[in-house]
Structure 1
Amino acid sequence: MDVDAYTDAHRADWERLETLLRRRRWSVEEADEAIALYRRTATDLSVVRSSSPDPALVSRLSSLVARGRSAVTGASTWSWRDPLRFVTEEFPAALAASARWWVGTAAVSVAVMVLAGWWVATTPGVAAAIATPEQTRRLVDQEFASYYSSNPAASFASQVWTNNALVAATCLVTGVLLLPVLWVLLQNVMNVAVVGGILAANGRLGLFLGLIVPHGLLELTAVFVAAGAGLELGWTWIDPGPETRGRALARQGRVTAGMALGLAGVLLVSGVIEAFVTPSGLPTWARIGIGLLTELAFLAYVLHGRWVLRDRAGVPVADDGS
């Protein structure tokens, strides 16, 4: 076989396939073209291997076929771009896609939390039924504030992160059962409500907010996201839609697994704030300000995910702000 003539005859196909493989996204037409070119190049590789001793050409076509197979079948080798893409695209897109679940979960949870805390703080006898006067005194005067500085900051951050990651993972992993998610969520909501109610009843609401808000906004948001994603997974079992139940659960399960990884990072940030900012000597307004800015940054991250989804769907972005 004349290798040069064969190369000249097929070079355009190979170069076109290389051009397509360098792109991050394909249109439907380009995807069909890439599949056809991949098949032709695989055939060319087989011909060249059997007829030509040219190792450079074999190596080039082998690499091109391997890349084409990965792009066409969805299989890929690990690259440093993978975690970067997860952080910048996949995780925020998943947050945006499941927003109706976790935003609804957050709204109901915060409403229950506020009502329960108000009930504990204002209803005579409720706080006394929860804790003895001695327990209340220790909580109000010592234990609540000292909790955040009871251990070295780095050790405390690790402990908090591990505990919160476990809570989030429980919501995600047991989501298909629904009830465990609701139980974990109720426990977290009532813990905050009861402590806040007792401190408010004893005139220490400012202390409570000053120590909870800096890390609690992001921490509770992560818990609400985990609970919402878990509930969405459970609802997929009940109502899989047009897919089979197995396929729907597999698809949503992959999304949920990615959410678990991303939320571990979010909870790491809240754990660092809880260990280093919450017990710091910064004025209360500064600590609360840090918590608010962190929460706003997370919401902006979710908004970025919404734009990623719109870009993938091919929806044009309006110039008039709508």
Structure 2
Amino acid sequence: MDLDAYIAEHDGEWRRLDQLSRAGRRHSGGEIDELLMLYQRASTHLSMVRSRMPDPLLVARLSRLVLQARSAITGTRAMGWRTVVRFFTHMFPAACYKAGGWWAASSAVFVLINAILISYVASNPSVQTTIMPQDQINALVNTGFEQYYSQYQNQNFALEVWTNNAQLAGMALVGGALIVPTLWVFWQNALNTGVMGGIMIGNGRADIFFGLIAPHGLLELSAFLLSFAVGLRIGWSWISPKPGRSRGQSLAEAGRAGVVVALGLVLVLAVAGCIEGFVTPNLPTVVAVPIGVLALGAFVTYVVMRGRAATAEGYTGDLDADLREATATVNPTRV
């Protein structure tokens, strides 16, 4: 199909749609019917261009035009408390629930890798001294690991770990489209935890290691593993797109759900940061660990209960239909 001829054939319709859908314009009854008809045709044109001759400039022009027309037809969405509440009662838990299989698999692999690394490092002192000199190992085991959680003021430490964890989760999510960056972030975190745990346990400080890691680490690692799982799900979406969807459409859908997860994890990681900043360094292990277990249990229960209910209502974690890209079945005989 000749792109220039296609543009010449439909350019008049697109210009008219642009005119009718401009903000602030008041429409007569006939103009509303014309706007709806041109909007539907432009949506079909956009789908056809994407599937048959994906010219970037034309796709961008038609995408902007369709979104502008959709806004003129549906009106501007007002962001209010109901939208925020619905995000946390439906969209976020549904997105997490949909990624449940990836999440469970990622968690199992992470635990297995850590078990292997911890066992190997703990049982081989020569490996430990290869990683760091003996004097640094002694300092870490005797005071360094424990002092890490109390070297800053509680609020400053909580903010630091929150932003650091949010950055790692963001890297895992964004890197999912290319897969390799997400796997790299995953491996680096597993390696760091496994090596540190192996050194502590190998030198008889398992109580200190688990006592300080567990309160915040249960929720923190779960959130990170969720971001990793969603990142891989995004990457898999274009490798194996859903039936009836192009690779681009499948990637866009998974990417939008990934953004929903990223926004929700900001709050989850804030809770984990507060536990690490205020609970871990200040409360005894017998009190701090149950708080961590409770936080993890509450999050998993929330995802399962609310996610299952939201999914049953038709939520997938994606944005509402009027906020998504325009798609339509292409019928060449009617275009």
| Fold conserved between structures, TM > 0.5 | yes
Q: How far did residue 89 of structure 1 move? A: 1.2
* CA drift at 1:74: 9.1
| Higher mean displacement: 117-126 or 268-277 | 117-126
In structure 2, C-alpha distance between the alignment counterparts of 1:124 and 1:208, rounded to whole Å: 17
Match of 1:247 in 2: 249
Equivalent position SS for 1:312: coil
1:311 aligns with 2:307: no
Deviation sequence 1:237-295 (CA, Å, 0-9, x none):
21112201111111111111111111111111100000000001x22111110000000
Q: What pairs with 1:64-103 in structure 2 (closer than 5 Å)?
A: 76-103=77-104
* CA 75–229 in structure 1, closer or farther in 2 if over 3 Å, else same: farther
Match of 1:296?
A: 297
Provide the identity percentage. Answer: 44
Partner residue of 1:262? 264
2: CA distance between counterparts of 1:309 and 1:73? 25
TM-score, scaled to structure 2 = 0.71
1:203-222 equivalences in 2 (<5 Å): 203-222=204-223
Q: Can you give the 5+ residue segments of structure 1 that lack an aligned partner in the other structure?
A: 1-41, 47-68, 314-322
Write the mapping of 1:1-322 to structure 2, written as runs, cut at 5 A.
43=29, 76-242=77-243, 243-280=245-282, 282-303=283-304, 304-312=306-314
Q: Residues 74 and 130 from structure 1, CA distance in 2 versus in 1: closer, same or farther, beyond 3 angstroms?
A: farther
Pair 1:158–1:289, CA change in 2 (3 A): same
Q: Summarize the Cα distance change of 1:44–1:238 in structure 2 as closer, same or farther, 3 Å threshold.
A: closer
Q: CA RMSD in A?
A: 2.2
Secondary structure in 1 matching 2:241: coil
Contact 2:89 2:310 in 1 (8 A): no
Give me the whole-angstrom Cα distance separating, in 1, the residues matched to 2:29 and 2:311: 37
Alignment-mate amino acid for residue 97 of structure 1:
K
Structure 1 residues 105-160: Cα deviation after superposition (integer angstroms, max 9, x where no partner): 11101110111111111134221211111010110111110111111111111111
TM-score (norm 1): 0.74
> Is the radius of gyration larger for structure 1 or structure 2?
1
Gaps of 5+ in 2: 1-27, 33-69, 316-335
* Whole-angstrom distance in 1 between the partners of 2:74 and 2:215: 45
> Size of the alignment, in residue pairs?
250
Query: Whose RCO is larger (CA < 8 A, sep 6+)?
Result: 2
Counterpart CA distance in 2 for 1:290 and 1:150 is 22
Aligned letter for 1:272? C
